[in-house]
Amino acid sequence: MLVYKWGFYLTCAFAALFVGAGLTENGLSNKGKMSAGYAFLYLLIMAGLVIYAGFRAKKEQLHYYKVKGIEPLSEEKLQALRLVAPHRFNYKQWSETLEFWPRQPASGTDTFRYQILSFESVGVTRQRRKCLDDDWGIVDTESYIALMEYFLSGEHGANHFKEHMEENPQEVIAMLSKVKEFPEDYLYDCTVRRFDKSSPRLIWGAEIEWIIGLTCSTYQNGTIEEDLAWHYILIASKKAYELFESEEEFHRNRLMGSWYWHAFCYRMKLMDAELEEGHLYDVEILEHYRKNCLWPIKNLPWGTSST
């Protein structure tokens, strides 16, 4: 679709220049009018191709859903995927399915001729699988479950933040208050358990996004089954909607938690410039999503469905 989109934009620009040149040189002469007419016809043809590509892409996507047995998600599951929507939007992934990019159907199961829809290559899948192994130790179902339980126990980072704020809060404050959105009172507030919550917020925004993102990637690779993936995604999602009162609050904590974890928990010692660069990149992704995304999932009410 991007090829058609940018091809259309470039054609519009060249056609406009062509018309302008024709009218400038020939005024309203027959030759100028003919040039403008040809350019307008060319624009109509290109617009038709763009519209056709859009309808064709939708048709292919719906056919793919049918072949793979992908059904529309419940609101509860959409609410869960909404938590990672900024990254999916930034990387032009699908928003309302567990898999975020189409995977090649098994040989002989689908004879449909796809013209627009492109499938994830074996090389991309292999590279992602390697990254999950190298960075997170995910190689099979058992290692995935162990990592998810490690996250949910708080041992990946949430408990470390709590203990750090109890034992040496000034070190945390000195690092995180470099960002104006994370002042001292906000950091202390994240350690306080509200009367109607199961735990303090700590850095659970970041932990929850990691759980959902890693689960989607592991499922995309074919390492785990769909039911297991949704089991941990929904556990994480329910915790997000219980601890955070709004999407803004969730993403603020997520950004803070990511900065904290990479500063104090990551196995590599990062320089301040590296931490700032990573934070600014995350902020850009979020702002791009807020300003430009028109996905229906973005407009879901905050909170889990009762159905």
Ordered mean pLDDT values, 10 residues apiece, the chain (307 residues): 48 55 53 62 66 70 84 95 98 94 78 81 92 96 98 97 97 92 95 91 98 97 96 98 97 97 91 94 98 96 61
Q: What pLDDT shows up at residue 305?
A: 41
Q: What pLDDT shows up at residue 307?
A: 33
Q: What pLDDT shows up at residue 2?
A: 43
Q: What pLDDT shows up at residue 236?
A: 98
DSSP secondary structure letter of residue 185: H
CA dihedral 67, 227, 282, 201 (to 10 degrees): 160
Please tell me the distance from the alpha carbon of residue 261 to that of residue 253, in angstroms, as a whole number: 12
**Residue pair 144/138 in contact by the 8 Å Cβ criterion:** yes
- Considering all CA atoms of the chain, what is the largest pairwise distance in Å, rounded to the nearest integer? 84
Q: What pLDDT shows up at residue 4?
A: 45
**Residue pair 49/56 in contact by the 8 Å Cβ criterion:** no
**Which residues neighbour 194 within 8 Å (Cβ) at sequence distance 6 or greater?**
200
| 0.85 surpassed by pTM | no
Q: What pLDDT shows up at residue 11?
A: 56
